[in-house]
Amino acid sequence: MERLTGLAPVIDARARVLVLGSFPSTASLAAQQYYAHPQNQFWRILGAVIGQPLKEMDYAARIAAAQDAGIAIWDVFASCERAGSLDTAIREARPNDLAKLQESAPALRRICFNGRMAARRIREVEALGFQALVLPSTSPAHAGMTFEQKLTRWRAALQA
């Protein structure tokens, strides 16, 4: 199986909240963009939280708006082997170095995990001194909650 490499972090010194996913989908890897799958609700939810029509913007404008709002984006895994896009298919994962976050984002205080697979690193994040929250996945595979239910949880976490 081919080894896949994730995306570079979207983070700058203004970041106060980091959203950590597990690993980019095949659509995201192909586009070299976070949350590129058209059915993923990430940009729609984040846009509703920060009051910007992110879903309608091009990728560079989405990233700029997220960073202007103090939100960073990354994944817990730097690389892995995986067939398809499901988190359950991730094998031989190599973690990203989360300890480096304090250098690149001194204002960062909270890390929000986008789903349970990413949250497997919650103890490590808490040991680094960050507040950690597990949010419902924005993935189309997570259909157990309505958009509105997800939005309520995401808004509380990102605006607090």
pLDDT digits (tens, 9 = 90+) for 95-107: 999 998 888 899 9
Active site residue 114: no
pLDDT over 90 at 70, yes or no: yes
Domain holding 34, by residue range, is: 3-159
Residue of 25, 28, 40, 138 with catalytic role: 40
pLDDT mean over 84-103: 91
- Distance of alpha carbon 133 from the chain centroid: 12
Hey, which residues does 112 pair with through a beta bridge? 19, 133
pTM of the model: 0.95
pLDDT, one tens digit per residue, over 140-152 is 776 788 999 999 9
**Per residue in 13-44, is it b (16+ CB within 10 Å) or e — as a string?**
eebebbbbbbbbbeebbeeebbbbbeebbbbb
> Please, what is the end-to-end C-alpha distance for the chain in angstroms?
42
pLDDT over 90 at 27, yes or no: yes
Q: Is the dihedral of CA 89, 74, 45, 26 positive or negative?
A: negative
- CATH number, domain at 134? 3.40.470.10
| Separation between Cα atoms, residue 65 and residue 38, nearest integer Å | 19
φ, ψ at 51 (rounded to 5°): 70, 35
Number of domains in the chain: 1
